[in-house]
Structure 1
Amino acid sequence: MPEKSWKRTERAVAARLNGRRVPVTGRSRGDAPDVDHRWLAIEIKHRTRLPAWIEDAVCQAEAAAREDQLPVAILHQKGRDHDRDLVVLRLADFESWFGP
Structure 2
Amino acid sequence: MTASLIRIAGRVQGVGYRDWLVHEARRNGIAGWVRNRRDGTVEALLAGERDAVQAVLTACRRGPPAAQVTSIEESFAEAPAEPGFIRKPSL
Q: TM-score, normalised by structure 1?
A: 0.29
Larger Rg: 1
Tell me which of the two structures has the higher relative contact order, counting C-alpha pairs closer than 8 angstroms and 6 or more residues apart: 2
- Higher percent of residues as strand: 2
